Structure 1
Amino acid sequence: MRILLTGGTGLIGRALCQYWQRQGHELWVWSREPNKVAQLCSGAHDISSLQELQGTPVDAVINLAGAPIADRPWTAARKQVLWSSRIDLTRTLVDWMRQQPQPPKVLLSGSAVGWYGDGAEALLDESSPAGAADFGSQLCIAWEQEAERANLFGVRVVLLRTAPVLAPQGGMLARLIPLFKLGLGGRLGDGQQWMPWIHLEDQVSLIDFLLNHEECRGPFNACAPQAVRNITFTQTLARSLHRPALLPAPAWALRLTLGEMSVLLLGGQRLQPQRAQTAGFTWRYGNLQEALHQLLSHQ
């Protein structure tokens, strides 16, 4: 299968490249920094423009591109970067797909659990309504709408509402481990907010599952079946590292420091991957303690 990836040099993209190359797929990575593709996605073809694929039919498109959403406060300028790197890029991608004599059969397009906004105590699945109160949910809603336009010309569209991905060398866990090893970790706010998560291996397996099951279309929550509260997550991580978790971050301090972006830490979603379960996907790491044990064995 010939697969085009955006975001191929990111955490999930790199893991997908390794996984699919072992299966013998032909991979093309569209990147703003194509010179990094050879190093990060060994064996993949790099392109800096979709026009470089002229005359090269693509079977599937995996759209994971997007500037990091949580690495700096949401100033007006930063919001524009986040919007352009998701919505504008996806619009360009879908327009290119429509113009092809033989459009790709499937588009798996990134989104995030932030689509639901802060769900408080509500039990959520893919049939639940979107959030609308914060920029993060607005971003995901618009992102999905751009991807769904590909339905109009016969492409199967799958929307990946991804939870924070746990991996040993990247993402949220890589930022937390040094703090917790120093005994500086703790709950965020009162710690009662729900926190969906997914192990990187399960994220890759789920994407591959959705790619190969033609009956799967529409939104899928990419999260483990066992959502936990933030306080449970922090205590489990601390125990796994044999450290205490004694330094909570007060909600007021997070709001003062991060402003609008604090909703990512103080809000949450009690989320179920209902559609993936119904489709028959099985998780290798559905239990947080087991997932952290496996991930931290690499440290």
Structure 2
Amino acid sequence: MADGRVVIGGSTGFIGTRLQQTYRAQGREVITISRAGADLTWTDQSGIDAAVDGAELVVGLAGKSVSCRYTPTNRALILSSRLDTTTALSTAIGRASAPPPLWVNSSTATIYRHAEDRPQTEADGDIGTGFSVEVAKAWERALFADDLPATRRIALRTAIVLGDGGVLGTLRRLAPLGLGGPQFDGWWPVTKARRAAGTAHQHGSGHGHQRFSWIHLDDVAGIIDFLEQHPELSGPVNAAAPNPVDNVAFMAAVRRALGVRFGPPTPRWMLELGAIAIRTETELILKSRWVLPGRLAEAGYAFRHPDLDEAVRVSLR
């Protein structure tokens, strides 16, 4: 098991909170960076420089949540919150007299296209189009932009993360109300402005057949430990469990874990109206994300939660 200081940027979110607990339980020094509620803020570049210098691991997780309406203001914040914080970490590493040997930075499995025909791996995946994909591409460019020869960099293309909170926290509340059924795609009018901005989900899989790639929070932590121990790995790495399912199967697993017998499907028009009401986007549930962990499988990573039913069950217990 690795030791030494860990710097976590974006430390107060779902993943960052868990990583803090994990590393402190291992006896490692942890320094956190966030907009608030952390050891350092993102405006304190000199503090970030000092924290990174001599660290063994830097983990970048910062970024405004994408669960919002993709208004021009929110789109700008989604992008800038990722690029500015990644640049701050890169600047600190470039200035360090003892740069960290590993920097793991968040990316997203959404970088791949809407895939219904075959799974996407790092070796043969097709990069998609649209606003979310452009954000992911820019985020990865910022990670690899500077010349940092002493620091190995990994873009962790993370699938939807399951655990006590996150998407399952929302479904825990909705499923008992009869809203735990599959989400059906269908036709919905797309304005010229949203089409130009790349923010409108185009009609894809019907009847809940959009693929659902996922990973348990335990495995996010486990993968970062594994990456520390495998210096041959760098560049993009898919953080996704090896057994993706479709939306119908995912929602059925949630209902089983919660003891909810019935969940009627929700059609696209209802999803769109609901997304407007709660200020989010239907792309988050209707895009077909079919991603496999090609490089992790080749390197021999053993998933702690490879089975969806078990992963959902332990998350909701």
Code of the residue aligned with 2:315 in structure 1: it is L
Q: Which residue of 2 aligns with 1:293?
A: 313
Q: Which residue of 1 aligns with 2:116?
A: 120
The offset of 1:238, in angstroms, is 0.8
* Dislocated runs of 4+, deviation >6 Å: none
Q: Which residue of 1 aligns with 2:144?
A: 148
Pair 27,252 (structure 1): closer, same or farther in 2 beyond 3 Å? same
Is residue 226 of structure 2 the alignment partner of residue 209 of structure 1?
yes
Pair 135,256 (structure 1): closer, same or farther in 2 beyond 3 Å? farther
The offset of 1:124, in angstroms, is 1.1
For normalisation by structure 1, the TM-score amounts to 0.89
The offset of 1:236, in angstroms, is 1.4
- Further displaced range: 227-236 or 179-188: 179-188
| Per-residue deviation, residues 65-109 of structure 1 (Å, max 9, x unmatched) | 111112x21111110110011122212221222122232221100
For normalisation by structure 2, the TM-score amounts to 0.84
Is residue 96 of structure 2 the alignment partner of residue 100 of structure 1?
yes
Code of the residue aligned with 1:187 in structure 2: it is P
Is residue 294 of structure 2 the alignment partner of residue 274 of structure 1?
yes
- Further displaced range: 147-156 or 280-289: 147-156
Q: Is the 8 A contact 1:3 1:26 kept in 2?
A: yes
Q: Is the 8 A contact 1:185 1:247 kept in 2?
A: yes
Q: Which residue of 1 aligns with 2:46?
A: 51
Q: Is the 8 A contact 1:3 1:60 kept in 2?
A: yes
Code of the residue aligned with 1:22 in structure 2: it is A
The offset of 1:23, in angstroms, is 1.3
Is residue 212 of structure 2 the alignment partner of residue 195 of structure 1?
yes
- Further displaced range: 277-286 or 250-259: 250-259
Q: Structure 2: which 5+ residue stretches go unaligned?
A: 185-206
Pair 151,174 (structure 1): closer, same or farther in 2 beyond 3 Å? farther
Give the Cα separation in 2 of the matches to 1:164 and 1:132: 17
Is residue 16 of structure 2 the alignment partner of residue 13 of structure 1?
yes
State the percentage of identical aligned residues. Answer: 32
Calculate the aligned-residue CA RMSD, in Å. Answer: 1.9
Give the Cα separation in 2 of the matches to 1:292 and 1:250: 24
Q: Structure 1: which 5+ residue stretches go unaligned?
A: 38-45
The SS at the match of 1:78 is: helix
Give the Cα separation in 1 of the matches to 2:235 and 2:112: 15
Code of the residue aligned with 1:162 in structure 2: it is T
Q: Is the 8 A contact 2:102 2:151 kept in 1?
A: yes
Q: Is the 8 A contact 1:7 1:13 kept in 2?
A: yes
Give the Cα separation in 2 of the matches to 1:130 and 1:143: 17
How many residues get paired? Answer: 285
Q: Which residue of 2 aligns with 1:41?
A: none
Give the Cα separation in 2 of the matches to 1:95 and 1:154: 14
Pair 230,55 (structure 1): closer, same or farther in 2 beyond 3 Å? closer
Q: Which residue of 2 aligns with 1:32?
A: 35
Code of the residue aligned with 1:208 in structure 2: it is D
